[in-house]
Amino acid sequence: MSDAIRHEVGIPVPQQKQRHETETGQLISYVLPVYNEAEGIKHFHAELTSTVAGRPEFDYEFVYVNDGSADGSLRILRDIAKNDPRVRVVDFARNFGHQIAITAGLDLATGDAVIVMDTDLQDPPKVSLEMIDAWLAGAEVVQARRRTRRDTPFKRFTAHAYYRLLRSCAEVDIPVDTGDFRLLDKRAADELRSFRERSRFIRGMVASMGFEQQELLFDRDERVAGETKYPMRKMLRLAADGVTGFSTVPLKLITRMGFASLALALAGIIYSVTLRLFFPEITVSGWTMLMVVMLFLGGLQMLSLGVIGSYIGRIYHEVQQRPLYIVRDVIRHDQA
């Protein structure tokens, strides 16, 4: 079909794979979620700005999202905005979580390319320059993949196992060892903005979009200050969102468990009826068997209800259609 006809009938004209020429004045947006980073955020901004100063051919904007910090991060962010006209600060009315903070930053970012990175210097700013190079060479999404990471052995092990488990059951190809440090071309960022689901697992959403995706290996550093803002509870929720958002394998497993327990039940029925018919004198015993079967099936049913319940919970949150986040204020340079 020619592009003219596509245009006529309203089908989007496919973008030819193209190199993004280094026109002067292309805008690069940084989306930067902040939650209780008062100790390190000033240092982070200084590092980031000194790194991007090495590439003066671009314009930059820095969209910080203050995700309901309770440690004075906002005051420091105001200071940063006062001293740097490229900074905007989105102030959330409460803590909405990392994935939602990224979403809000993305909604406000206007760049030709948008880079999402953490504000604890675990994602090194110089890697974002390599991302820009990959983008200039034609990539539409650049994913930073951890070659090594300096976290606790427990976190390293659980993350390693989880990414592989997710990959084996997810319907889309979610890259392993890839967090939320990535560059999105304007087109890809626009598409991602149209995903409005509440339980968000952004790396899965990006994987499901397609586009020309490229991986970039990097070594993840240690936190500069403070400690992780992802306690066990938040990590488990994110992990569950990843699975329920991109896979119905748990539901299928219930069906399989159902079949397996049905087969066991059939064997049990045949066994007990035979005993009753041909050996009536020994059928009084069997209390242990009864307890085992009853408890086992009870457990299985509860587990299945739990799995179904977590999908229903998701549906419930989606149909409520509440706003994804509530912004108290957007602070610009001239208002800081």
Tell me whether residue 139 or residue 192 sits nearer to ligand UDP (CB atom).
192
Torsional sign, CA 327, 114, 232, 37: negative
Q: Binding of ligand UDP at residue 95 (CB under 6 A)? A: yes
| Minimal distance, residue 228 CB to ligand UDP, in Å | 3
Q: Does position 204 bind ligand UDP by CB under 6 A?
A: no
Q: CB burial class (10 A; 0-12, 13-18, 19+) of residue 224?
A: middle
Q: Least Å distance between CB 117 and ligand UDP? A: 8
Query: Which of residues 26, 28, 31, 34 is near ligand UDP by CB under 6 A?
Result: 34
Nearer to Mg ion (CB atom), residue 26 or residue 128: 128
Return the residues of window 137-166 that contact ligand UDP according to CB under 6 A: none
Q: How far is the CB of 321 from ligand UDP (least distance, A)?
A: 22
What minimum distance in Å lies between the beta carbon of 25 and Mg ion?
Answer: 32
Question: Which of the choices Mg ion, ligand UDP, none does residue 140 contact, using the CB cut-off of 5 to 8 A by kind?
Answer: none
Nearer to Mg ion, 175 or 226 (CB): 226
Contact (Cβ atoms closer than 8 angstroms) between residue 218 and residue 146: yes
DSSP H or E run through 168? helix 153-169
Please give the Cα distance from 81 to 279 (Å, whole number).
86
Give the shortest CB-168-to-ligand UDP separation in angstroms: 22
Q: Does 230 bind ligand UDP (CB under 6 A)?
A: yes
Contacting residues for 91 by C-beta, under 8 A, at least 6 apart: 66, 74, 327, 328, 329, 330, 331
Q: Is 260 exposed, middle or buried (0-12, 13-18, 19+ CB in 10 A)?
A: exposed
Residue nearer to ligand UDP on the CB measure, 102 or 207: 102
Q: For residue 210, give the 3-state DSSP assignment.
A: coil
| 98 binds ligand UDP, rule: CB under 6 A | yes
Q: Which stretch binds ligand UDP (CB under 6 A): 22-30, 97-105, 283-291, 298-306?
A: 97-105
Residue 35 binds which of Mg ion, ligand UDP, none (CB < 5-8 A, kind-dependent):
ligand UDP
Residue burial 30-60, b: 16+ Cβ < 10 Å; e: rest:
bbbbbbbbbbbbeebbebbbeebeeeeebeb
Report the alpha-carbon distance of residue 222 to residue 327 in Å, rounded.
30
- C-alpha–C-alpha distance, residues 201 and 206, integer Å: 9
Of residues 120 and 177, the one with the C-beta less far from ligand UDP: 120
Select 76 or 170, whichever has its Cβ closest to Mg ion. Answer: 76
Report if residue 97 touches ligand UDP, rule: CB under 6 A. yes
Q: Which amino acid is at 77?
A: L
Taking CB within 5 to 8 Å according to partner kind, which of Mg ion, ligand UDP, none is near residue 37?
A: ligand UDP
Sequence-distant (6+) residues with CB within 8 A of 8 are none
Residues that bind Mg ion (CB under 5 A): 118, 120, 122
Q: How far apart are CA 173 and CA 161, in angstroms?
A: 16
**Binding piece for ligand UDP, criterion CB under 6 A, among 32-40, 205-213, 264-272, 275-283:** 32-40
Contact yes or no for 170/205 (Cβ under 8 A): no
Q: Where does this chain bind ligand UDP (CB under 6 A)?
A: 33-35, 37, 67, 95, 97-98, 101, 118-120, 122, 228-230
